[in-house]
Amino acid sequence: MNIMNIREARESDLDALLELYLDLHEQCVPEHDERLRNTWTRIIADPDHHLIVCEHGGRIVSSCVCVIIPNLTRGVRPYAFVENVVTRADARGNGYATACLDRAREIAAKSGCYKMMLLTGSHDPKTLDFYRHAGYNSTDKTAFIQWL
């Protein structure tokens, strides 16, 4: 049986999330310094920053971030930005990330968002098909990135 628990991250989840991000693109877990602690405190306290996790078997196996961004257009309706979608390499293909993205969509809808956006650096057809299957398309907008 594949029982999962989808919830928002708690303060005590920091170390598990940092380990999970090693399966995203991080090379190492950052040092537990003041900057990390301050950033984590801001994320947890921000009512528009939703760090969604999927637990299975007592561990966090997948996660995504959904940020609700206030907006002055589209009838003053906000939009949502999804980032850092990740599943542990040994847990992929079980619907965990889909469940996280579904929760992000619920949060965005409840917040009155008119759209959700997601960027990926992946060119892997499996990853792109995953996002299409989750309801995202790559035809409506063109994304540009400027790295700082």
Q: Which pLDDT tens digit goes with each residue over 88-137?
A: 999 999 999 999 999 999 999 999 999 999 999 889 999 999 999 999 99
**Residue 92 belongs to domain with CATH number:** 3.40.630.30
Residue-wise pLDDT tens digits, 68-94:
999 999 999 999 999 999 999 999 999
Distance of CA 75 to the CA centre of its chain: 26
Task: Please check the confidence at residue 10 and state whether its pLDDT lies above 60.
Answer: yes
Domain for residue 38, yes or no? yes
Residue 51: how many other CB atoms lie within 10 Å:
21
User: Alpha-carbon dihedral of residues 131, 135, 139, 143, nearest 10 degrees?
Assistant: -60
Cα–Cα dist 131/50, whole Å: 19
Domain range for 35 is: 4-127
Domain for residue 123, yes or no? yes
Cα–Cα dist 62/59, whole Å: 9
Q: Which helix (H) or strand (E) holds 130?
A: helix 125-133
Could you give the count of Cα atoms lying within 13 Å of 16 in the half-sphere of its Cβ? 18
Domain for residue 135, yes or no? no
> For the chain, what is the domain count?
1
Instruction: Indicate the pairing of strand 116-118 with strand 79-87.
Output: parallel
pLDDT band for 9, please (50, 70, 90 cuts).
Answer: very high
Domain for residue 143, yes or no? no
Predicted structure pTM score: 0.94
Domain for residue 148, yes or no? no
Domain for residue 138, yes or no? no
**Strand order through the sheet with 116-118:** 5-8, 49-56, 59-69, 79-87, 116-118
**Residue 105: both structure tokens together:** 């969509």
